[in-house]
Amino acid sequence: MNRRPVRAVAYCAGLVCLTAALAWARAAEPVPTLDPRHWPRLAPVPAPDAALEARISALLERMTPEQKVGQLVQADIGSITPEELRRYPLGSILNGGNSSPHDDKLAAPSEWLALADRFYAASLEASGELRLPALWGTDAVHGHNNIPGATVFPHNIGLGAAHDPELIRRIGEITALEVRVTGLDWAFSPTVAVARDACWGRTYESYSEDPALVRAYARAMVEGLQGRPGTPQYLDAAHVLATPKHFLGDGGTGGKDQGDNLSSEAQLLALDSVGYQAALAAGAQTVMASYSSWQGQKMHGNYTLLTEVLKGRFGFQGLVLGDWNGHAQLPGCSAVSCPAAYNAGLDVLMAPDGWRELLANTQAEVTRGEIDPARLEDAVRRVLRVKLRAHLDSEGAPSRRPFAGRYRLLGAAAHRAVARRAVRESLVLLKNRNRLLPLKPHQSVLVAGDGADSIAKQSGGWTIDWQGTEPNQDFPHAETIYAGIARCVAAAGGRVQLSPSGEFAVRPDVAIVVFGENPYAEFAGDVATLEYSPADKHDLALLRRLHALDIPVVAVFLSGRPLWVNAELNAADSFIAAWLPGPEGGALADVLFRKPDNTVHYDLRGRLPFAWPASPRPPDAATGEVPLFPLGYGLSYGDDGWVRPLPETP
Ligand code: GLC
């Protein structure tokens, strides 16, 4: 008798009992409570300004109820026209990951600037004598990444590997400048999540699992984007509003996007909140709320954390923005009606498509007293405070601002040089048997793998479009990893052949196999296991085929997170975690190869921002899962890069 059915029944019965026991145990545990007094008191940055507050009070006096509520609703440019903005006085607009002028993701920068002018003029007219135009927010999360030709940097996980806050500040400055060139004034970044489970599809948007690194980077990126508070550069024409996100605890949901963070209050404070404390100390003026929950309560409706902690204890004086229809997930709410979100402490709801109804419904809810009048006043005051601090009342139309239309700044050589430095510093060497790397460029090199010549694959999500699937030709001056290798080898008189499948006519001296995850964003990237490509092992077969021919193999792994790749590590002589280097990924070659004179061009300095898993389960002290390579691990060329043969079954 096949024992399998008996065993299966026993297994399932055990599972049912275990699940029931866990549910009972959780039900028996009291839900941890939050006490705002446990949270540090922070001084508001910048300090309150009486003259500014007086100006705001005067504006509030003159605003109609519709103008007030309009400030609290944000629409997506794919769902509102300048003509409608003239009629409906919304306080801000955004372009979501898939929105662009005329719905053309390849629209020229001049189209963005022209549209910014039209929205500005319309909103200025709608604001009447207030003369307060709308803000325009964009997901500039690794450069001004919606604009073909703009400088795009490695995603945050790679920047975390660089351990270089000054680099982060410079990246913020460049990003802000290029956003300004196209007439926009607000960046929905940085993500300051402390990701704890790489199954999460947004792990690559997190700098690190190490809160100390996230703290240092949050400050650097906010100061880079906004300028330093108290200096003339703060929110000047070369800088934009920053948005630490997603408040609070999006990285601690057990690897499920928009999931439930079950951390204790102490963990929430010690891990999830440190990026915000640093960002606020750096003068961040907007914060985006998280889709995720804490202990079963959606963050968009969490009064204690949004109001008593963020605005009370942390002294935040700017505006809290909801995420894309995030308010609709609250009990009793929809995309077009949600008093609960405003009452909890959200100041602006991101209502990409339902903005018109939300405006009308919110006005009615204010009239009916469902939204506390004092809450309404506070929310409008916060929006006006941010706008005046950002000089929206005086800087004129987008195209008349100092850097508007200076299109040569987009992807400028000096900016791309910083991106290439970031690529180099992000690389983490995990294995280097017999010190194969760095390679001599004067030899025959086979470049294989489906990531070798793909800007999309080396860039990941949030690049031109939301999920990041654009063809190479949409990136005017990018360099694929293959192109970078060809550049280095050709300069030394070597020979290079590109063959994604790994076939070759002339036996190479060495093979570089570039492979990894296909692009994704947000929940589209959630996985159930950390095993790399569990259903398709063609990359492993390619590595093994070349290895079996005694061809030295260098594996370059493109991923938005650390994954279980024991078999791939065994099949390679050298293995580099390259993360998502972006359109300047060709800079990787300058690290891989020696100079033509055989000296080392750049050494590797990247160190793991997340522990690397030894099994398909995330490393976790609580479960006893120990990492294969610990947080902070990374080899340089002088190190002994030998790695013992690794188990290839979980
Ligand atoms: C998305 C993301 C958020 C982004 C927003 C606007 O759902 O959660 O990070 O800023 O929508 O695109």
The sign one gets for the Cα dihedral 134, 137, 143, 145 is negative
Question: What pLDDT, on the 0 to 100 scale, is given for residue 477?
Answer: 84
Residue 474 sits at φ, ψ, to 5 deg, of -80, 0
Residue 528 has pLDDT above 90, yes or no: yes
pLDDT tens digits along 219-253: 999 999 999 999 999 999 999 999 999 999 999 99
| Ligand 1 atom 3, closest CA | 323
On whether the CB atoms of residues 278 and 219 are closer than 8 A, the answer is: yes
Q: Helix crossing, 165-181 with 211-226: angle to 10°?
A: 40
Question: What pLDDT, on the 0 to 100 scale, is given for residue 17?
Answer: 54
Q: What's the one-letter identity of residue 35?
A: D
In whole numbers, what is the pLDDT of the chain averaged over residues?
Answer: 95
Question: What pLDDT, on the 0 to 100 scale, is given for residue 501?
Answer: 98
Among 79, 94, 188, 287, say which to mutate for ligand 1: greatest number of ligand atoms within 8 Å of CB: 188
96 in contact with ligand 1, CB cutoff 6 A: yes
DSSP H helix total and E strand total for the chain: 20, 19
pLDDT tens digits along 306-350: 999 999 999 999 999 999 999 999 999 999 999 999 999 999 999
CA distance 564 to 368: 56
Average confidence (pLDDT) over 608-621: 90
Please pick, among 450, 522, 531, 568, the residue that the annotation labels catalytic.
522
pLDDT tens digits along 101-146: 999 999 999 999 999 999 999 999 999 888 899 999 999 999 999 9
Residue 602 has pLDDT above 70, yes or no: yes
Among 323, 325, 464, 467, say which to mutate for ligand 1: greatest number of ligand atoms within 8 Å of CB: 323
Domain 15-28+53-408 coded CATH 3.30.465.10 = no
Q: For residue 226, give both structure tokens.
A: 């906004």
Residue 399 has pLDDT above 90, yes or no: yes
Give the 3-state secondary structure of 167-234: HHHHHHHHHHHHHHHCCCCEECCCECCCCCCCCCCCHHHCCCCCHHHHHHHHHHHHHHHHCCCCCCCC
Residue 430 has pLDDT above 80, yes or no: yes
Among 105, 257, 324, say which to mutate for ligand 1: greatest number of ligand atoms within 8 Å of CB: 324
Residue 5 has pLDDT above 60, yes or no: no
All CATH 3.40.50.1700 domain ranges in the chain, comma separated = 427-623
| pTM (2 d.p.) | 0.95
Question: Residue 289 C-alpha to ligand 1 middle, in angstroms?
Answer: 10
Question: What pLDDT, on the 0 to 100 scale, is given for residue 33?
Answer: 84
Residue 11 has pLDDT above 90, yes or no: no
CA distance 382 to 316: 10
**If you search the block for the tokens 């790679």, which residue do you land on?**
158
The sign one gets for the Cα dihedral 257, 262, 265, 266 is negative
Question: What pLDDT, on the 0 to 100 scale, is given for residue 16?
Answer: 52
Please pick, among 323, 517, 568, 590, the residue that the annotation labels catalytic.
323
pLDDT band at 619 (very low <50, low <70, confident <90, very high): confident
247 in contact with ligand 1, CB cutoff 6 A: no
CA distance 55 to 462: 38
| Ligand 1 atom 11, closest CA | 324
97 in contact with ligand 1, CB cutoff 6 A: yes
Question: Residue 94 C-alpha to ligand 1 middle, in angstroms?
Answer: 10
Atom of ligand 1 nearest to the CA of 326: 7
Residue 19 has pLDDT above 80, yes or no: no
pLDDT tens digits along 433-491: 999 999 999 999 999 999 999 999 999 999 999 999 999 999 998 999 999 999 999 99
245 in contact with ligand 1, CB cutoff 6 A: yes
CA distance 391 to 434: 59
All CATH 3.20.20.300 domain ranges in the chain, comma separated = 15-28+53-408
Residue 86 has pLDDT above 70, yes or no: yes
CA distance 172 to 391: 20
324 in contact with ligand 1, CB cutoff 6 A: yes
Residue 208 has pLDDT above 50, yes or no: yes
Atom of ligand 1 nearest to the CA of 139: 10
| Ligand 1 atom 1, closest CA | 324
Q: Is 522 a catalytic residue?
A: yes
Question: Residue 169 C-alpha to ligand 1 middle, in angstroms?
Answer: 22
Question: Residue 546 C-alpha to ligand 1 middle, in angstroms?
Answer: 42
Burial level of 331, CB count in 10 A (0-12/13-18/19+)? exposed
Q: What percent of the chain has pLDDT over 70?
A: 95
* DSSP one-letter string for 278-330: HHHHTT--EEEEPSSEETTEEGGG-HIIIIIIIIIIT---SEEE--TTGGGGS
300 in contact with ligand 1, CB cutoff 6 A: no
Question: Residue 20 C-alpha to ligand 1 middle, in angstroms?
Answer: 36
pLDDT tens digits along 144-189: 999 999 999 999 999 999 999 999 999 999 999 999 999 999 999 9
Atom of ligand 1 nearest to the CA of 246: 9
In CATH terms, 427-623 corresponds, of 3.40.50.1700, 3.30.930.10, 3.30.530.20, 3.40.309.10, to 3.40.50.1700
Question: What pLDDT, on the 0 to 100 scale, is given for residue 14?
Answer: 52
Question: What pLDDT, on the 0 to 100 scale, is given for residue 128?
Answer: 87
**CB within 8 Å of 312: residues ≥ 6 apart:** 36
| Residue from 150, 96, 160, 98 nearest 580 by CA | 160
